[in-house]
Chain A
Amino acid sequence: DAGITQSPRYKITETGRQVTLMCHQTWSHSYMFWYRQDLGHGLRLIYYSAAADITDKGEVPDGYVVSRSKTENFPLTLESATRSQTSVYFCASREFYEQYFGPGTRLTVT
């Protein structure tokens, strides 16, 4: 089915470990986004990408790395996970004024 998929859906990791969250879209939308959602903060933009090989920082980029070698994939890497990165992570793509979200990855850092 067309849409955005994220994997894994749930992840528990230890402080200091590297973690990569995957995002795949089937629409070929140019723009893709990574958000984290925390109680009291709503959705905050981590990074976004306007096209393959073009990425830019959002509101909360520290501790995260992204890449986009292909239009359909936009992985998010936590280089050395910290407890403050425990959150729900959403990937999204954009068409004109509208965004379409994946189902999210719930990440717990112990």
Chain B
Amino acid sequence: TQLLEQSPQFLSIQEGENLTVYCNSSSVFSSLQWYRQEPGEGPVLLVTVVTGGEVKKLKRLTFQFGDARKDSSLHITAAQPGDTGLYLCAVLSGNQFYFGTGTSLTVIP
């Protein structure tokens, strides 16, 4: 059983379009992280959200933590080819991090 479910699994869009990807769980977490992984590289931390309802913006990326701290979304405005990659959400439970299986995003020029 996957602790974190991410959707969609794959997403292919045209440059300039907007998109939202989701990270859902039935458990409550004190924080949630989003990472982006490009081919051949390790995941890179984008943001950590810690408060229910929190919204954080990173340029064209908007991250939201659900009010109940069970889910999160990542919205990208006007996607660019440089946004292509695998987007992973993760939570810390005890001493371990648990990752979702990711959303693979392709932005077509």
Indicate which residue in A41, A99, A102 contacts B97 across the interface (CB closer than 8 Å): A99
Indicate which residue in B31, B43, B101 contacts A97 across the interface (CB closer than 8 Å): B31
In the assembled complex, 23 residue pairs joining A and B whose CB atoms fall closer than 8 Å, in A order, are A4-B42, A33-B97, A42-B100, A42-B101, A42-B102, A43-B43, A43-B88, A43-B99, A48-B96, A58-B96, A90-B43, A97-B33, A97-B48, A97-B50, A97-B92, A99-B33, A99-B35, A99-B43, A99-B97, A101-B42, A103-B40, A103-B42, A104-B41
Residues of B within 8 Å of A101, CB to CB, are 42-44
B55 to chain A minimum Cβ distance, whole angstroms, is 17
Tell me the nearest residue of chain B to A94, going by C-beta: B97
State the CA gap A50–B92 with chains docked (Å): 14
Residues of B within 8 Å of A56, CB to CB, are 95
Interface size on A, residues (CB 8 A): 23
Most A C-beta atoms less than 10 A away, residue of B42, B90, B95: B42
Contact flags A41-81 to B (C-beta < 8 A → 1, else 0): 11101001010000010100000000000000000000000
Residues of A within 8 Å of B88, CB to CB, are 42-43
Contact: B45 with A98, CB < 8 Å? Answer: yes
A37 to chain B minimum Cβ distance, whole angstroms, is 9
